[in-house]
Structure 1
């Protein structure tokens, strides 16, 4: 087994910057609207011998757009119309179920593919996870209705391995070169050398830049005291991207000693969840491959709106028509803390109980992913702002995961460089650290690493609430009249990884 620095992530479920941990309560109580608390763990945590970071998704449509046998009548090219190849769709993507789909990440669509066709309320969900809605003000741009799912990321990884040799770095730098005014193109210009070093160039466990880590095994650069990703007994990890046990056991992940890499929940369950524990720069690469870019701060500001409410002695701003009560959106979902915002409607003054879990029956201390809802499972967590596309709003902009936003300006985060703590201490000029100071009863911790990139790194900012209890990130900016990005919160480097952070894509309207 590869020797890696994992001691820092054993207590992985604690609040960002707060350092408070939870108990192991589980509950099957449902949020309003019928988000199911079912007990299925289908999908199978089966083991395998491949060192690939992708498990693969069987489908009848190849990544080149040619559908296998069983031709169907060709429709008018609109979404949902019959197709046998990409050119028969206006979107240029014919799904595995021989219907036109919106983007490449929904190519595996069969009508029920996990994380592809399973967004929306209740289990298992029945709406495309790739649906994107025209913004309220910027009519030439769309913002995805739902958070990026692990199933959509899996479609990307399958394509990466099938058509790009697993070389994420080459795919990224080629795109940046060919599209110099794009998000990635400008990043390559503004932060020279960053993409050439930090982005994995193969899918192997033993690479300097390791794709299995970027997919959520645990952080490559352990910036935060607790990351909420690493999975073992009592670790409170919540990584939602299933990887082959043969890969994960190389990192000591699992519930035996040493870890055998087997997850508590299978691929089909986890693929429905929003992707977390992945660097926002990876999500930006995913969005570029999928025909868009990681959503920008201004995109979120358009849909968040300016709805004030008085909570206790404080004024807060929220994205809904009316202030939601605790339990109506996925915020402070158990985890043993007192209410983070005193006076929030319905929020208990003492330790929170868990109001949502899917599947039920597990121990959160071993795997906290059931606390995260698949996108759209909380039907009241929808924006007051609506799109001209059927009057629909955007889901989970309030709770579930914090979401990474790409800035329109070029601020510099306080944390510089890329320190590979997974590799252990480097020698001489390559030595770096992410040492953690003592905090109350939590002792100081040494985290030596190997310096992969020095200097300024691209920043992202965080938005919203999380299932664990993070609250009102960037609300001052999102509800502002002037859109001053100095009011943004949660500034972190674009390679930051955390179990409570996801994202969504935005696109030029076609």
Structure 2
């Protein structure tokens, strides 16, 4: 037999991946464990430089399994062989084998938007992580591909918000509007949450909401009534009295909104820490009647509040009054401007339409020189010794009957009658003096007495700039007291009815009641016609005449 010699044959090298033999392992209890089970396979830490799943791990130029893996082939599916994570579609190579992506493998894989977060399976991502939409983020807010912190203007309900961009505890998040979701009233602009929904404000929901100025009162949008005295207010219209005071509380009368002359009546002087002051608009009942009377005569400050509220135009106000309360023939005797008001309440008022001699001043003893003076401070050439702040608390003098009639109508009342003042003066019975119900001590009408301002028994404030003619003060407003300073003379209903100023009454035009004044005028609650019997040439005010109002 002939033998043939074979020539050299060249074989192309083929890289055949070595099959990884899964060896059994022994568990802590000595039993054989499955190395492919989750308990046996510990995910490789991708932050470890030596880990196959480290992003910087180098891929082989060759495939790691049939048609996949390596630098140039597609990544391998689960259970295929691998050398590094990038060989796998899951980017996770554990012990040479591609494993399924999990939300705890430390790798951004599957549909995750950042490492182990985002997508349909992994937890939502915290702020600062990558995202494709709000659903990927714990904040539900994805801005420019990054999870953003919850914000009150991000257009989604997040954080502790109870509805979109409202509710919750953060001060920067606004309260929710009506009909939005809520957990409690604090989530709502209305402060009322019922059935998980913010409710519309009402005037009966027991909270201050809407445009109310206090709980279930004031404002115009909730149907709430006007507010009682001492309730909070924003404007006069919030108050049943139509008077919102300087402390933003409703006051007892619409003319008692300022401090000086508004709440400075009673015992003690302004600034005295021991003073016991009350509202100058307080009223008290007349014994045996349904009528109430101002406890005190009207202050200069109360008249100022009236003039300022009307911008001086009292004429427009009286034009609204019914004929039973006002005669159109009186219109010329009330002001139409601030300047006219200053003239009527100041020292003179010449050319008054009711003056029998237009060349005279139509007022008596109201100039602050030569033993005269008016408590309503006016600007200009009138040389008063006292400032507006010093005068506003005092009883108003030098005011005309018609202006006081208009004032009381504006306050919701009227001038009292002689009978009503006599009732208060005599405590509804036959008391000799207002104070007789508790002090029967005789009264000497020709001497000063601490029970009332009479016979020059009051003087304030002392100041070195006061002018004198010898020992006589030029500005007599020093003698006019703020109402309420003589509590020993109050009647049994605490009305200061006697002393300080004579008073206009409604028994007829120019009628006054005589009940003692700071000067020497007598008492007894009798009446007189000021214009016809006392001062026909000066009908529009006197330094010892004031007034108070009565209320039916």
Pairwise TM-score range, normalised by the shorter structure:
0.5 to 0.7
For residues 51-106 of structure 1, the C-alpha deviation after alignment (integer angstroms, 9 at most, x for no partner) is xxxxxxxxxxxxxxxxxxx9975477332122334454333433231211122101
- Of 276, 287, 297 in structure 1, the residue corresponding to residue 397 of structure 2 is 276
Q: How does 1:400-415 map to 2 (within 5 A)?
A: 400-407=500-507
On the 8 A contact 1:169/1:199 being kept in 2, the answer is yes
Deviates more, 1:78-87 or 1:151-160: 78-87
- Of 216, 228, 231 in structure 1, the residue corresponding to residue 346 of structure 2 is 216
SS of 1:105's equivalent in the other structure is coil
On the 8 A contact 2:362/2:539 being kept in 1, the answer is no
Instruction: Confirm whether residue 333 of structure 1 aligns to residue 455 of structure 2.
Output: yes
Q: Which of structures 1 and 2 has the larger relative contact order (alpha carbons within 8 angstroms, sep 6+)?
A: 1
- Of 194, 201, 210 in structure 1, the residue corresponding to residue 329 of structure 2 is 194
Instruction: Confirm whether residue 154 of structure 1 aligns to residue 304 of structure 2.
Output: yes
The structure-2 alpha-carbon separation of the partners of 1:71 and 1:201, relative to structure 1 and needing over 3 Å to count, comes to closer
CA distance in 2 between counterparts of 1:497 and 1:382 reads 26
- The match for 2:459 is 357
Give 1:470 deviation, angstroms: 0.4
Q: How does 1:310-321 map to 2 (within 5 A)?
A: 317-321=432-436
SS of 1:94's equivalent in the other structure is coil
CA distance in 2 between counterparts of 1:499 and 1:371 reads 10
CA distance in 2 between counterparts of 1:329 and 1:75 reads 44
On the 8 A contact 2:256/2:302 being kept in 1, the answer is yes
SS of 2:342's equivalent in the other structure is helix
For residues 314-341 of structure 1, the C-alpha deviation after alignment (integer angstroms, 9 at most, x for no partner) is xxx422213446321445434xxxxxxx
CA distance in 1 between counterparts of 2:516 and 2:391 reads 21
The structure-2 alpha-carbon separation of the partners of 1:298 and 1:212, relative to structure 1 and needing over 3 Å to count, comes to same
SS of 2:284's equivalent in the other structure is strand
- The match for 2:511 is 460
- The match for 2:378 is 243
On the 8 A contact 1:474/1:489 being kept in 2, the answer is no
Larger radius of gyration: 2
On the 8 A contact 1:121/1:377 being kept in 2, the answer is yes
On the 8 A contact 1:148/1:502 being kept in 2, the answer is yes
CA distance in 1 between counterparts of 2:510 and 2:481 reads 27
CA distance in 2 between counterparts of 1:159 and 1:400 reads 27
- The match for 1:115 is 261
- The match for 1:497 is 541
CA distance in 2 between counterparts of 1:286 and 1:376 reads 20
- The match for 2:367 is 230
Instruction: Confirm whether residue 136 of structure 1 aligns to residue 136 of structure 2.
Output: no
CA distance in 2 between counterparts of 1:378 and 1:130 reads 17
CA distance in 1 between counterparts of 2:216 and 2:232 reads 5
Instruction: Confirm whether residue 379 of structure 1 aligns to residue 487 of structure 2.
Output: yes
CA distance in 2 between counterparts of 1:94 and 1:328 reads 35
- The match for 1:297 is 418
The structure-2 alpha-carbon separation of the partners of 1:73 and 1:225, relative to structure 1 and needing over 3 Å to count, comes to closer
Give 1:168 deviation, angstroms: 2.4
The structure-2 alpha-carbon separation of the partners of 1:324 and 1:402, relative to structure 1 and needing over 3 Å to count, comes to same
CA distance in 2 between counterparts of 1:236 and 1:114 reads 25
On the 8 A contact 2:435/2:491 being kept in 1, the answer is yes
For residues 393-448 of structure 1, the C-alpha deviation after alignment (integer angstroms, 9 at most, x for no partner) is 201x21111111111xx5xxxxxxxxxxxxxxxxxxxxxxxxxxxxxxxxxxxxxx
Consecutive unaligned residues of structure 2, counting only runs of 5 or more, are: 1-210, 218-226, 533-537
CA distance in 2 between counterparts of 1:219 and 1:72 reads 42
CA distance in 2 between counterparts of 1:231 and 1:81 reads 40
The structure-2 alpha-carbon separation of the partners of 1:180 and 1:490, relative to structure 1 and needing over 3 Å to count, comes to closer
Normalising by the residue count of structure 1, what TM-score does the alignment of the two structures yield? 0.54
The structure-2 alpha-carbon separation of the partners of 1:199 and 1:71, relative to structure 1 and needing over 3 Å to count, comes to closer
- The match for 1:286 is 407
The structure-2 alpha-carbon separation of the partners of 1:98 and 1:501, relative to structure 1 and needing over 3 Å to count, comes to same
For residues 202-258 of structure 1, the C-alpha deviation after alignment (integer angstroms, 9 at most, x for no partner) is 343xxxxx43231132254478998221122xx11121011123xxx2xxx32xxxx
CA distance in 1 between counterparts of 2:338 and 2:237 reads 31
On the 8 A contact 2:418/2:505 being kept in 1, the answer is yes
For residues 134-183 of structure 1, the C-alpha deviation after alignment (integer angstroms, 9 at most, x for no partner) is 221222x210001100001111111121xxxx3322322x133xx2322x
CA distance in 1 between counterparts of 2:510 and 2:267 reads 33
